[in-house]
Structure 1
Amino acid sequence: MSNSDSSKNIITTIVTAVVAPLVGGAVLFALGMLPEALTLETLAIGYVVFVLSILLVEFVLSAVLSSSPSEGRGKSRYVTEQEDVRETGTVKWFNVSKGFGFITRDQGEDIFVHFRSIRGRGHRFLKEGQKVKFDVIKGDKGLQADDVAILKQQ
């Protein structure tokens, strides 16, 4: 999950946890102001309004947050060679549990790759022997692959 997706989930959770109970509480409070109106039926109505307010807040937040631009959107995990002019290489090895490995560049040099540099969402990993396209950047410990996309097999 990218940082922007994580931030959106946190915002949605916080707003839902704060706004929806306030709306529902206000309705229940308003219904409770009239003691004769405080019946099982009015409590049920208050509960329905409370649940609907939670659903409404979730729906609105999801719509607003999903329409905002996010980094990496539109980038497929897989690409064809014609779509991409970046460097190519072959996955030498990749340790899923440690989240890193090495790609052998077409020029022959091995280059470090971290799971965060692999395109896609969720569990990102590479398989030995896969052909990939990537950018080369200068990392803390030397050159490393970035924005790694798996080439579609033809």
Structure 2
Amino acid sequence: MNKGTVKFFNESKGFGFIKDANSSKEYFVHSSGLVDNIGENDEVTFELQEGKKGLNAVNVKLA
């Protein structure tokens, strides 16, 4: 399980980006991968899954 911070999330479009706390990499997150509702600057935990354009954050939960 990875930890990170929501850098950006657009609720109306249903996607955003999470910055990994350990590597500082940013991962795409889609609303279909959310367990909890998230907003910018929320601390979250997430898993990574291969998507069409690289790794995506899935099973995103508030920390």
Bin of the TM-score, shorter chain as denominator length:
over 0.9
Report the equivalent of 1:102: 17
Residue of structure 1 aligned with 2:39, choices 91, 107, 127: 127
The CA distance in 2 between the partners of 1:91 and 1:131, in whole Å, is: 7
CA-based RMSD of the aligned residues comes to 0.9
Q: Does 1:118 align with 2:34?
A: yes
The number of residue pairs the alignment matches comes to: 62
* Distance in 1, Cα, partners of 2:38 & 2:13: 12
Unaligned runs of 5+ in 1: 1-85
5 Å-filtered alignment, 1:11-50, equals none
The structure with more helix, counted as a fraction of residues: 1
Q: Cα offset for 1:95?
A: 0.3
2:2 — aligned with what? 87
Three-state SS of the structure 2 residue aligned to 1:128 is coil
Instruction: Compute the TM-score of the two structures, normalised by the length of structure 2.
Output: 0.92
Alignment partners' CA distance in 2, 1:137 and 1:100: 15
Residues of 1 paired with 2:39 and 2:12: CA distance?
Answer: 13
* CA distance in 2: counterparts of 1:127 and 1:99, whole angstroms: 11
Unaligned runs of 5+ in 2: none
Larger radius of gyration: 1
Query: Cα deviations across residues 68-120 of structure 1 (Å, max 9, x unaligned)?
Result: xxxxxxxxxxxxxxxxxx10000001000100000000110000000010015
The alpha-carbon deviation at position 126 of structure 1 amounts to 1.6
- Aligned to 1:148, which of 49, 52, 60? 60
Q: TM-score, normalised by structure 1?
A: 0.39
